[in-house]
Structure 1
Amino acid sequence: MNKIRVRVADWQKDNAELRRIREAVFINEQHVPPELEWDSDDSSAVHFLAFEGDFAIGTARLLADGQIGRVSVLKDWRGLKVGDALMQATLEQAEERGLKEVKLSAQVHATPFYERLGFKIVSDEFLEAGIPHVDMVRCA
């Protein structure tokens, strides 16, 4: 396997890659309705793409208020630290922007991953797009 690299993506220029990954993970695998996946925050968010070689395999986004979301890795690359690389890039960007706190809504099965990165659960479990989630926060 090649080394995984992550870069800031441009919503316009990298739109096809961002959409391909999010559609595969959220819409096709997890059955999130497309109208819930795509929102007005995409145009103003800082997006990230993870690559193995020249092939995009994961995404994440950071909103101006410190909300991290749409963290997704294509199925064949899960368990290979792609999520760690995406989150590291996202957290570094949040720090560069002076955000003292970042937050996310995590799918319940993914909470151990986020806890390992310093996030704490701050809500009861709730359903989002029919999937159990909890809100999590990480302070700088």
Structure 2
Amino acid sequence: MSAPAAGSVVVRVAEDPGGREACFRVRNQVFVVEQGVPEDIEYDALDAHAVHVLAVREEDGLPLGTGRLLYGEVAAKKTGGDPSVGSLGRLAVLPEARGLGVGVALVRAIEDAARERGLGVVDLGAQVHALGFYERLGYQAYGPVFEDAGIPHRSMRRTL
């Protein structure tokens, strides 16, 4: 597949089963195949309660990236019990689409979805190698490094 041209990426909420399946395929490619995350922990019960966003190439609808937002009681369990905090997670961009702004567009779409649900803060667990990416988007790291699926992470947060 050729890389998408600049400006040819569309990000939308994946509301139908086909869109969500495309999100799961991207996550499988990035997390399970590329990073070696066990498949049985990549997908969880939280997926059923999440807002999934999908980035596709405008010309042909080819999936390029995805992410999810947890909110309400589901997110409160992950973010210390505060229902005004959403949880951004499972952000994944296929290798051929990296460096083209797809990740930024996905994060901004998740933040928009959080605002639409009345949330004032977004929290996430960033892989340590991605800290700079999130810092450029206004997120601040806090707390110690922790392991998730055998990969070092650090908590980050941004007020919307």
The CA deviation string for residues 69-119 of structure 1, in whole angstroms up to 9 with x for no partner, is: 000000111011100110111111111111111100000010111011111
TM-score by length of 1: 0.95
**How many pairs are equivalent?**
140
Larger radius of gyration: 2
User: What CA distance in whole angstroms lies between the structure 1 residues aligned with 2:43 and 2:112?
Assistant: 25
Counterpart of 2:8 in structure 1 is 3
Among all aligned residue pairs of Structure 1 and Structure 2, give the percentage whose two residues are the same amino acid. 46
Counterpart of 1:61 in structure 2 is 68
Give the AA of the match of 2:48.
S
Runs (4+) of structure 1 exceeding 4 A deviation are none
Structure 1: any 5+ residue segments left out of the alignment? none
TM-score by length of 2: 0.84
Structure 2: any 5+ residue segments left out of the alignment? 76-85
Structure 1 residue 133 corresponds to structure 2 residue 140: no
User: What CA distance in whole angstroms lies between the structure 1 residues aligned with 2:145 and 2:17?
Assistant: 34
User: What CA distance in whole angstroms lies between the structure 2 residues aligned with 1:81 and 1:71?
Assistant: 13
- Cα–Cα, structure 1 residues 11 and 121, in superposed 2: closer, same or farther, change >3 Å? farther
User: What CA distance in whole angstroms lies between the structure 2 residues aligned with 1:55 and 1:110?
Assistant: 24
Q: What's the RMSD between the two structures over aligned residues?
A: 1.1
What is the SS of the residue equivalent to 2:55? strand
